[in-house]
Amino acid sequence: MLTTHAPAKVNLTLAVHGRRDDGYHDLTSLVAFAGIGDSVSLDPAGPDGLTITGPFASGLATDGSNLVLRAIEHLNDRRALGKVGHFTLAKRLPVASGIGGGSADAAAALRLVARARGWPVHLPDVMEAARQTGADVPVCLTSKARQITGTGEVLGLPLKLPRLFAVLVNPGVAVSTAAVFAKLGLQPGRSRVPVLQPQMAVGLWRQDGLEEDAGSLISRILRGHGNDLEAAACQIQPVIEETLEALRATGNCRLARMSGSGATCFGLFDDRNQSLAAARSLVKAYPHWWIRATLLH
């Protein structure tokens, strides 16, 4: 039995630059990964297939429409895998929540097959299977902080971010990524007003030798680059704005922002004690929300 972690992906920044002629949106995002996530196991001796357990397993398909099996099918198209084995997904992350749970699960399945076959995870066929599965799957293969561009499938070099003490909060609603992008109202071939590229800012930050300074990252980079999907998602699910206000109201929150297309939001704090205290107060005030203190890296 082989097992791997499938950490939550958090978009620290997300800028939408326009919509391409093929209908996809061009974006730039600074991505980090959390210490919490799903887990995926593979029993190479078991029958091919997928079992899903965990608090968010209900309603999830276990057929070829699931991203885990879809990723393996794309790899099979390129590598003729034959028998693969049985996957078990422990689903601990909320579904359709803007933190890449499905993409992380698919990437984890690809890692497990690569490990079972003795292949490096950066093998071109593995990377191509990840790209075919979804725009977020390639960055989840290694789960390292990076800047991503294009539709999300173009990866920058790994970044050594300072430790970011965070609280992730999902108010219990699912948000359609397609609906959020549609709310932007961009027609194919249309561009948005140019913004300062996060990669330029990150480059300056790293050149200054401030890689270990979380405060500098927050004040000099993150505050100046938001999430262009946040306003649209709040229109679709107003509870997202309530979630952001709840994070800010904890008192020590340095920055509150939505991740991806929502509805999960994150708050950043100066240290572990502050993040844990904030999580406890939020759990008390909103007992039905999904709330986790974690470390982003």
270 assigned to active site: no
Q: Do 218 and 193 touch, CB atoms closer than 8 A?
A: no
The contacts of residue 144 (CB under 8 Å, 6+ apart) are: 33, 158, 159
Catalytic entry in 26, 38, 136, 228: 136
CA distances from 44 to 82, 105, 107, 119, 144 (A): 11, 17, 17, 15, 27
Place of tokens 């630059």: 17
Q: One-letter amino acid identity for 213?
A: D
Which residues touch 295 (CB under 8 Å, ≥6 apart)?
34, 35, 163, 164, 165, 166, 272
Reduced to 3 states (helix: H, G, I; strand: E, B; else coil), residue 224 is: coil
Specify the DSSP element, H or E, that contains 239: helix 239-248
Torsion of CA 167, 238, 140, 113, to 10 degrees: 110
Residues contacting residue 184 through CB under 8 Å, at least 6 positions apart: 16, 19, 25, 228, 229, 232
77 catalytic, yes or no?
no
**Cα–Cα distance for residue pair 215/219, rounded to 1 Å:** 6
3-state class of 101 per DSSP?
Answer: helix
Which residues have a catalytic role annotated?
A: 9, 136
